Chains A and B, each alone.
Chain A
Amino acid sequence: GAVVSQHPSRVICKSGTSVKIECRSLDFQATTMFWYRQFPKQSLMLMATSNEGSKATYEQGVEKDKFLINHASLTLSTLTVTSAHPEDSSFYICSARETSYGYTFGSGTRLTVV
């Protein structure tokens, strides 16, 4: 089946630094990728939708300048958390849509900002 590889699985960074999370579709081309954030014991909240070769579409309340999304190729999307602060600590998950209803999720990235 479709596989989405997400790296790193966990990262600890200092407050004020930037962190990049990568999401790759390994055996299919993903024209659209989605980025989610999950707070402890809560549901997955869609942050943004990235389309290959165009600007990402952000959900209401998500800071575009803080969460930079790049989808430069059909198999790679990146999320960069800029000037990270402790409140950005969360579990970030990417998802790629292979078919109209076929979503495959990455394994997630646990970000801890200290």
Chain B
Amino acid sequence: DQQVKQNSPSLSVQEGRISILNCDYTNSMFDYFLWYKKYPAEGPTFLISISSIKDKNEDGRFTVFLNKSAKHLSLHIVPSQPGDSAVYFCAAIQYNAGNMLTFGGGTRLMVKP
């Protein structure tokens, strides 16, 4: 049972435009969500997170939106840059279940110059 899903395996956008990466989850008990960026043959690096009690968190070019009723979150990157090309994973944590990360399948973002 995949509790965190990223239904788009890949996304291609033009430099300067907005990139929107989506993530859906099924476990309503998740109380914290994170986005990680990963380059090939490297470990994931933390990008941005959001608590379940919020619906938006912004950090520079990155904004995460959370819609709890729809069990959906999205990562917006504006403006997109070629260096943003990577695989993006969303992850969720349930605090009273060991605080372990549950990852989505990842979305490969390609930003074209």
Contacts and interface: CB of A to CB of B under 8 A. Distances in A.
A110 B44 contact: no
B34 A43 contact: no
Interface in A16-54: 34, 41-44, 46, 49
B42 A101 contact: no
B99 interface: yes
B65 interface: no
Contact of B43 (A42, A46, A108): A108
Nearest to A103: B101
Interface residues of A, number: 25
Nearest to B105: A43
Contact of B32 (A9, A43, A101): A101
Nearest to A32: B99
B43 A110 contact: no
Contacts of B66: none
Nearest to B9: A41
Interface in A48-92: 49, 91
Given A49-B100, A108-B43, 9 more contacts: A9-B41, A43-B105, A43-B106, A44-B89, A95-B43, A95-B101, A101-B99, A105-B36, A106-B43
Interface of B: 9, 32, 34, 36, 41-46, 49, 89, 93, 95, 98-101, 103-106
Interface of A: 4, 6, 9-10, 34, 41-44, 46, 49, 91, 93-95, 97, 100-101, 103-108, 110
Which 10 A-B residue pairings sit nearest by Cβ, starting from the closest? A105-B43, A43-B105, A108-B43, A107-B43, A43-B103, A105-B44, A44-B103, A93-B43, A106-B43, A101-B32
